[in-house]
Amino acid sequence: MANPEATAEAAGEPDSPDAELRAQAAELFEDIPRAAEPPSGRPVTRAKVDLGAMLFFDPRMSVSGVFSCQSCHNIGIGGTDQLETSIGHGWQQGPRNSPTMLNAVFNAAQFWDGRAEDLAEQAKGPVQAGVEMNNTPENLIATLESMPGYVEAFKAAFPGEENPVTFDNFALAIEAFETTLVTPNSRFDQWLMGMDGAMTEQEKRGLAAYMDAGCSTCHAGVNFGGQEYYPFGLVEAPDPEVRPEGDVGRYQITQTEEDQYVFRAAPLRNVALTAPYFHSGQVWDLEEAVRIMANAQLGTELAEEQAQDITAFLGTLTGEQPQVIHPTLPVRTGSTPLPAPIQQDVGEGKAAD
């Protein structure tokens, strides 16, 4: 969807040397707003956000008391854990790279295979995954209900409910908090809205090359991706270490043959912060990732200057990072379930990512 304001800016400055490029970009991309709402339209209140922040940072939401949402989606380092694949309960290594939660509210669905419709549904996955937090809804609720601080916070976030401490409300509170994790005012956004000097000449060349090469076919919109599903290896399959044969992507969800090795197009906002790349986490260099995608998805061998320019452009997608104060968490009581030994036998749940 075109951004009306950016389009107006482009149309209103015909003498700008960037006017033509900006008008072309405005047809494909949108700037990140400073505030977002969940696609469901569910209300986001201050009480829900504050509760969601506590739940996001609290490692006691895992059965061992070691892992929190923040463990794998660290807000201070781009919303990821910067590991190839995440480490969870029993020090197990999950099968996929942890996707960023920054700007995740703008994605059409969550997880690499898109199996969660929204952020609330996504929030329930890692809690129950045997190789992540390895908890159960029952133990989670018992933990929350044992602490008066949480009971009061749930009452404030969900007023009028007879029993507000529920697994559904746990997920809704995390969703509310995650809608605040947006990164507006990137240099690209500034440029899109009319500030010619916000990007260098190399970065502008990179934007033009990005569009001309066809990168914007899959990575466009407000989040530069996160909307559609494509085979990883649309033209040519990447090396097996980059696309492991054992992970068939969306096929695991749909059991539809055409979904073999199909994944949601990764959103590219803040991509310069979120190495390593791809669902396998096997590529640490952004320029190398650009070359792999051009070859695998577009059948294009980028010239050295093209790859460097596109990589430089992608650096302009880094926005203002969320400034989050770690919340003070409710105090446990004598009835709070004790943490389970981290080396205990794990459950059957699959890794959520």
Model confidence over 145-203: pLDDT tens digits?
A: 999 999 999 999 999 999 999 999 999 999 999 999 999 999 999 999 999 999 999 99
**Is 132 annotated in the active site?**
yes
pTM of the shown model = 0.92
Q: For residues 146 and 331, what is the distance between their CA atoms, to the nearest angstrom?
A: 9
Is 9 domain-assigned? Answer: no
Q: What is the pLDDT of residues 24-66, one digit of tens each?
A: 999 999 999 988 988 888 899 999 999 999 999 999 999 999 9
Q: Is 1 annotated among the ligand-binding residues? A: no
Q: Average pLDDT, whole number, for the chain?
A: 93
The greatest distance separating any two alpha carbons of the chain, rounded to the nearest whole angstrom, comes to 71
72 annotated to a ligand binding site: yes
Helices (H) and strands (E) in the chain, counts: 13, 4
- Count of domains forming the chain: 2
Are 134 and 190 found together in one domain?
Answer: no
Q: In which domain, by residue range, is 61 found?
A: 46-179
Give me the catalytic one of 9, 30, 84, 132: 132
Question: Across residues 201-227, what is the average pLDDT?
Answer: 98
Q: Looking at the predicted structure, is the pLDDT value of residue 10 above 80?
A: no
| Angle subtended at Cα 40 by Cα 3 and Cα 33, rounded to the nearest 5 degrees | 30
Q: Of 179, 210, 241, which residue is a domain's last?
A: 179
Average pLDDT for 195-219: 98
215 is an annotated ligand-binding site residue? yes
Nearest to 289 by CA among 278, 298, 304, 299: 278
Q: Which residues contact 325 (CB under 8 A, 6 or more apart)?
A: none
pLDDT at 351: 55
> For residue 9, what pLDDT band results from cuts at 50, 70 and 90?
very low
| 103: pLDDT strictly greater than 60 | yes
Tell me, yes or no, whether 73 lies in a domain.
yes
User: Among 298, 315, 332, which residue terminates a domain?
Assistant: 315
Do the Cβ atoms of 322 and 182 come closer than 8 Å? yes
How far is the C-alpha of 290 from the C-alpha of 53, rounded, in Å? 34
| Structural domain includes residue 327 | no
User: Binding residue per annotation — 73?
Assistant: yes
pLDDT of residue 4: 47
> Which of 125, 159, 179 is a domain's end point?
179
Least trusted range by pLDDT, from 10-24, 60-74, 114-128, 189-203: 10-24
Q: Does some domain include residue 271?
A: yes
Residue 352's pLDDT is what? 57
The reply to whether 351 falls in a domain is: no
Q: Which CATH number belongs to the domain containing residue 167 in this structure?
A: 1.10.760.10
**Residue 293 is labelled as binding a ligand:** yes
Tell whether 169 and 104 lie within a shared domain: yes
Does residue 228 form part of some domain?
Answer: yes
2 within a domain of the structure (yes/no) = no
The verdict on whether residue 219 carries a ligand-binding annotation is yes
203 and 264 in a single domain? The answer is yes
